[in-house]
Amino acid sequence: MHVEGLAQDTLCIHAGQAADEVSGAVMVPISLSSTFAQDGPGRHKGYDYSRAGNPTRTALESCLAHLEGGKHGIAFGSGCAATSAVLFSLKSGDHVLVGDDVYGGTFRIFDSVLKSWGLDATFLDMSDPGAVRAAIRPNTRLLWLETPSNPKLKIFDIAAIAEIAHEAGVPLAVDNTFATPMLQRPLDLGAKLVVHSTTKYLNGHSDVVGGAVITSDDAIADRLHFLQKSLGAVPSPFDCYMVLRGLKTLGVRMKQHVHNALIIARFLESHAQVERVFYPGLASHTGHAIAARQMKGPGGMISFDLKGGLSAATAFLKALRIFTCAESLGGVESLAEHPAIMTHASVPPETRRALGIGDGFLRLSVGVEDIEDLKQDLERGFHAARNLV
């Protein structure tokens, strides 16, 4: 099917997913073969060994590329593997500017893995594009940011930072996991690379671990394909099939995530036990205007400061019945977690304090359940926390 010009909701279902030529199967088959027959040495039908390429993976990569408005999709076995592959394209002595608020696993790769290999990273608040321009060094080779960021939900101006990166001759990579291409397309705003943990919203059902990078730059894509094959951190055909299956409902899921999250954010903002809410859909959010400009919706993630500190936060999380206390995000089910202890434990305490990730700081992944049930569940948590204050 010719998919150019089709809307995002249609691309989710059809991009890269033509009916199987052999059987006519409407759903992309799971190609489990590890090797492929060749007519002669080097004469194959596009696949020789499944680490280098697989038909099911190709379908996923094509769908993701179309959704992000890119030419090339490169799938990996996890979001961390996708991040690592981008960084493996650099060399010892190179410098990377990184947004100060990033997923704990991403921070760990920069701070505890590649630092020992000679990769230098500077973490800074990219809310001020002028500070980004001033921080670029002669050896800066990459700018990396998340927006909305994890877990403070910071909003960075992609177009402004992309222009600075372009002037410096440095590619900009944007982790678009929280927004998804349904709400934000960084390549359209000037970024060179988009990175995803497909584990999250793209799959949407908390049953797959995966990652991907999308780009329209042929040289970058060639390098990433080489690293994908050489490092071998590739997703299984079954995992690719599962993400494709989840993608088909991405559009309708994101609409419900946004709908529920906005109601929950307003509910939290008016609650006496909440000190502050971080959600770009609220006018009180410092990045609200930028989010309204570069996003089609503020997303399904909310963070907030609960009064009462660690004891209150622990009681709150333990009392929940619909929100599950668990790491990860982006599934149809609602999750709640304590970043300082869970997803961002690898970030040094002093860094967490500087970012405002304290003992009462909680993060919600708002699912697609009935909104009244979700509000009542949060009240159950507040009631338990109130008894400790």
Say what the pLDDT of residue 343 is.
Answer: 78
Q: Which two tokens stand for residue 76?
A: 């990996």
265 membership: H or E segment, kind and range: helix 250-269
Over residues 130-174, the pLDDT tens digits come to 999 999 999 999 999 999 999 999 999 999 999 999 999 999 999
User: With bands split at pLDDT 50, 70 and 90, how would you rate the model's confidence at 19?
Assistant: confident
pLDDT, tens digit, 9 for 90 and up, residues 193-202: 999 999 999 9
How much is the pTM?
Answer: 0.95
Which SS3 state, helix, strand or coil, does residue 35 take? strand
Structure confidence at residue 321 (pLDDT) = 98
pLDDT over 70, % of the chain? 99
Lowest mean pLDDT among 47-51, 188-192, 330-334, 373-377: 47-51
Q: Above 80 in pLDDT, residue 217? A: yes
Query: What is the average per-residue pLDDT within 354-362?
Result: 90
Residue 1 has pLDDT above 80, yes or no: no
DSSP annotation of 307 reads T
Tell me whether residue 103 is one of the annotated catalytic residues.
yes
Catalytic residue among 152, 200, 296, 352: 200
pLDDT of residue 244: 98
Q: Say if CB 114 and CB 144 are below 8 A apart.
A: no
Do 299 and 267 form a contact (C-beta atoms < 8 A)?
A: no
Give all strands of the β-sheet with 172-175 in edge-to-edge order: 72-76, 211-215, 193-197, 172-175, 140-146, 95-99, 120-124
CA distance 262 to 330: 15
Contact 177, 197 (CB under 8 A): yes
Residue 51 bears catalytic tag: yes
Residue (of 269, 291, 305, 244) closest to 67 by Cα position: 244
CA angle 17, 177, 219 (to 5 degrees): 70
Q: Average pLDDT over the chain, rounded to whole?
A: 95
Residue 23, pLDDT score: 86
pLDDT in the model for residue 20 = 83
| Nearest C-alpha neighbor of 204 from the set 188, 186, 189, 182 | 182
The two beta strands, 140-146 and 274-278, are unpaired
Based on the residue annotation, tell me whether 229 is a catalytic residue of this protein: no
Taking the C-alpha atoms of residue 92 and residue 83, their distance in angstroms, rounded to an integer, is 17
- Residue 287, pLDDT > 90, answer yes
Give the per-residue pLDDT at 350: 85
| CA gap 55, 241 in Å, rounded | 10
- The 10s digit of each residue's pLDDT in 71-99 is 999 999 999 999 999 999 999 999 999 99
Amino acid at 325: C
In the predicted structure, residue 347 carries a pLDDT above the cut 90: no
Give the active site residue among 100, 101, 175, 305.
175
Condensed to tens digits (0 to 9), the pLDDT of residues 24-43 reads 889 999 999 999 999 888 88
Would the pLDDT of 389 be above 60? no
**The token pair that represents 209 in the structure block:** 């671990």
Q: pLDDT category, 353, cuts 50, 70, 90? A: confident
Dist. CA 289–CA 175, nearest whole Å: 20
User: Cα separations (Å) of 130 from 136, 157, 163, 199, 286?
Assistant: 10, 11, 11, 34, 17
Residues 121 and 115: beta-carbon distance below 8 Å: yes
User: What's the whole-number mean pLDDT along residues 269-289?
Assistant: 98
Catalytic residue among 94, 100, 101, 103: 103
Is the model's pLDDT at 191 over the cut of 90? yes
Give the type of residue at 141: R
From residue 388, how far is each of 267, 269, 316, 383 by CA, in Å?
Answer: 21, 21, 10, 9
- Prior bond of 148 cis (ω within 30°): yes
Flag whether pLDDT at 368 surpasses 90: yes
Locate tokens 């919600």: which residue?
A: 364
Which sign, positive or negative, has the C-alpha torsion 205, 207, 209, 214? negative
- Whether the CB-CB separation of 87 and 96 falls below 8 Å is answered with yes
Q: What is the dihedral of CA 78, 82, 83, 84, to 10 degrees?
A: 90
SS3 label, residue 113: helix
Beta carbons of 238 and 276 less than 8 angstroms apart? no
What's the whole-number mean pLDDT along residues 340-355?
Answer: 84
Whose CA is closest to 330, among 232, 210, 167, 159? 210
